[in-house]
């Protein structure tokens, strides 16, 4: 009988961008609420989740996961548990790489938390 291994990806970076056009502030830990990361100015799309490769392009990602670009693209519309929180990955932004995400369940985030798929659902 073949066993199924659920992939997990570490959260490698967390950042907030309090002021438009200015550099972000890296964090070791953060709190995610329904309106996004505490201290971040973005409210229209609370989060931008990206891979390390994508984030290297200075795309102002809030959460960076250690996974391939193809892995992230395949997760569009699915829910991820990262530490205490659950986010639903949505569409790709028109101006940059990564995926927008919305908060399903807020809580604490810590660099090093593991991300895993908890539910497949429709894109928002």
Rounded to the nearest integer, the mean pLDDT of the chain is: 86
**Over 50: is that where the pLDDT of 124 sits?**
no
pLDDT in the model for residue 64? 92
The alpha-helical segments, DSSP class H, found in 23-107 are 52-55, 69-74
For 86-116, the pLDDT digits (tens) are 999 998 888 778 898 999 999 999 999 999 9
* CATH class of segment(s) 9-120: mainly beta
pTM: 0.86
């Amino acid at each position: 009988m073949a066993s199924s291994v659920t992939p997990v990806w570490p959260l490698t970076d967390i950042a907030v961008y309090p002021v438009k056009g200015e550099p972000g502030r890296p964090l070791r830990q953060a709190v995610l609420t329904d309106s996004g990361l505490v201290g971040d100015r973005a409210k229209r799309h609370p989060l931008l989740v990206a891979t390390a490769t994508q984030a290297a392009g200075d795309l102002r990602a809030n959460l960076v996961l250690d996974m391939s670009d193809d892995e992230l693209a395949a997760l569009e519309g699915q829910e991820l548990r990262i530490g205490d929180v659950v986010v639903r990955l949505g569409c790709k932004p028109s101006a940059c790489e990564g995926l927008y995400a919305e908060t399903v369940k807020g809580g604490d985030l810590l660099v090093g938390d593991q991300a895993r798929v908890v539910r497949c659902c429709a894109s928002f």
